[in-house]
A = this chain, B = another copy of it.
Amino acid sequence: MSKRITSQDVADLAGVSRTTVSFVLNNDQRFSIRPETAEKVRSAARQLGYYPNASARALASNQTKNIGLIISRGPQYVASDTFLPQIISGLLDALKQNSQGLLLEWVEPGQQLQTYLELTRAHHIDGLILMTPRLDDPGLKALEEADIPVVLMGTIPGSSLHSVDVDNLAAAETAVSHLIGLGHRRIACITNAATPYTSANQRLDGYKLALQKAGIAFDPQLVREADFDTQSGYKQMCSLLESDQDFSAVFVASDNVAVGAYSAIREAGLSIPEDISVVGFDDIPLASFICPTLTSVAVSGQEIAVESYNLLNRLMRGDLPESRSVILPTRLIPRQSSREIGRRAKKGSEKKSAQFVSCVNN
C-alpha cells in the first residue's frame, strides 16, 4: 500500500503552503490566487493523483456531502419493489450533478428511532429522505428535531416535516371514477399495503370518495389489504373471488400487486377485462407489456426522487420553501384491462382481437 498523498505533498511539490492548495482546489473566491500559482498547484495535484480525504474534509467542514435514503420496510419487501429502482435512479442522477453521495439504509418497524438518531446525530449525512414512512413510526418526532434537513417521500398528516408525494387521493378517485364511467357499480379494492402506510390509506379514501360521488354505497366486504408484493396480490384476489361477493371490476392500488391479481383471476377461469376490469397504480414499466395491458395511474418515481432531492437541497442551503409539501400530478392511462361492463366478447373472434392488439401503445 503506497503512502497516502495529502495536501501537504501537493503544497510541497508546488512550492506553496497547504492553505494555498486548499484555496485553489476548492475554488475559494474570497481569496485571490495568482493564476500561475493556481496552475502550479493544480498541476502538482494532477501529477501526484491527489484526492482530498473525505473524512478529513467532512470533519473540518462539517459537511459529509452525502445524503441518506431510508426505506422504511423490511428487506423482503425491498427485494420485490419494482418502484425502488426508479427512485434510486432519479436520486443518483440528481446527486451526481452536485457530486454528492447516496447512503442507503432500510429500517424495520420497531427500530426507527435508533436508526434515525444514529444517522442524524452521528453526522453520517447532510440530509435525509425517508421513503414510504409509516403513520405509526415512533421516530418521526426525532426527525422533526434533527439537526439536519429531512424530506418525507410520502405524507404524514400533522407532521411538521417537509414532504413530496403524489396526490394519492385524487389519483385513486380518478381511477375508480374511470371504472364507474365504464358502467361498473360493484367495484372491489385491493390496497397496496397495510394502513399504517399513508399511501394505502389515501388511495383507499380516494376509492371511497369516488363511490360516494357516484352514489354507490361503500361495502367493506369488497376491500382487501395487500402487502406490497405480487404474492399478496394473488392471495387477496383469491380471497375476493372465493367470497360470494359479486363485482365486475377491481381497483388495485399497486401494479405489482395487480399482477398477482391477474394471476388469481385467470386461475379462477375468468377473463380480464371481459369478466373483471382491473385498474392498477404506479404504471410500472411492465404495465404496458403484460397481457392484457394494464390500465394504471402513472406515477413517475424519478420525478418524485428529483423533487425530493431538490426540496432537500433547498433546505440544506437554508432557504425555506413557502410550502411544506410538494404534490405531484398523476394521470390515468387507460389500457386493455378496463372496459365497459357487460361487453362480453363473443367467444373466439373478439377475444382474439383483444388479446392480440398491440401491447405497447400506452
Residues of B near A104 (CB, < 8 A) are 88, 92, 101-104
Task: State whether the Cβ of A262 lies closer than 8 Å to any Cβ in chain B.
Answer: yes
CB-contact partner of A106 in B54, B92, B355, B359, under 8 A? B92
- How many interface residues does chain A have, given as a range? 35 or more
- Within 8 Å of chain B (Cβ to Cβ): is A82? yes
Tell which of B79, B289, B291, B302 touches A230, judged by Cβ atoms closer than 8 Å: B289
Within 8 A of B (CB), among A298-320: 301-302
* A281 part of interface (Cβ distance < 8 Å): no
Closest B residue to A293 by beta carbon equals: B263
CB distance from A27 to the nearest CB of B (A): 17
Number of copies: 2
Q: Answer yes or no: A118 CB below 8 A from chain B CBs.
A: yes
Given A102-B104, A291-B263: A85 and B78 within 8 A (CB)?
yes
User: Is B234 a contact of A262 with CB atoms below 8 Å?
Assistant: no
Contact present for B81 and A286 (CB under 8 Å): no
- The contact of A82 among B85, B88, B106, B359, by CB within 8 Å, is B85
A22 CB to closest chain B CB (Å) equals 15
A105 touches B92 (CB 8 A): yes
In-complex Cβ contact of A360 among B81, B229, B234, B357 (8 A) = B234
The reply to whether B92 and A85 contact each other, CB–CB distance below 8 Å, is no
Interface assignment of A260: CB less than 8 Å from any CB of chain B: yes
Q: Is A356 an interface residue (CB 8 A)?
A: yes
Does residue A136 face the partner (Cβ distance < 8 Å to B)?
A: no
Q: CB within 8 A of A79: which of B86, B259, B286?
A: B86
B residues less than 8 Å from A56 (CB atoms) = 55, 59
Find residues 234-268 in chain A having any chain B CB closer than 8 Å to their own CB: 234, 259-260, 262-263, 266-267
A40 part of interface (Cβ distance < 8 Å): no
In the assembled complex, the Cα of A81 lies from the Cα of B259 at a distance in Å of 17
- Give the CA-CA distance A92 to B97 in the complex, in Å: 25
Determine whether the beta carbon of A267 is less than 8 Å from that of B359.
Answer: yes
Is A182 close to B, CB under 8 A? Answer: no
Taken together as a complex, chains A and B put the C-alpha atoms of A2 and B148 apart, in Å, by: 12
Is the CB of A194 closer than 8 A to any CB of chain B? no
The interface bits of chain A over 86-99 (1 if a CB of B lies within 8 angstroms of the residue's CB, else 0) are: 10111011001000
Smallest CB separation, A354 vs chain B (Å): 11
Interface flags, A34-67, vs B, CB<8A=1, else 0: 0000000000000001011111101100001010
- Residues in chain B near residue A342, CB distance under 8 A: none
Q: How far is the CA of A2 from the CA of B53 in the complex (A)?
A: 28
Residue on B nearest A355 in the bound complex, by CB: B266
A290: Cβ under 8 A from any B Cβ: yes
Q: Would you list the 10 A-B pairs with minimal beta carbon distance, nearest first?
A: A55-B58, A79-B89, A51-B121, A263-B359, A78-B89, A55-B59, A51-B122, A75-B89, A75-B93, A263-B289
Would you list 26 pairs from A and B whose C-beta atoms are within 8 A, ordered by A residue? Answer: A1-B147, A2-B147, A5-B121, A52-B122, A54-B124, A55-B55, A55-B58, A75-B89, A75-B90, A78-B88, A79-B301, A80-B86, A82-B82, A89-B106, A92-B106, A230-B285, A231-B360, A234-B289, A234-B359, A259-B286, A260-B289, A262-B289, A263-B359, A267-B360, A286-B286, A290-B290
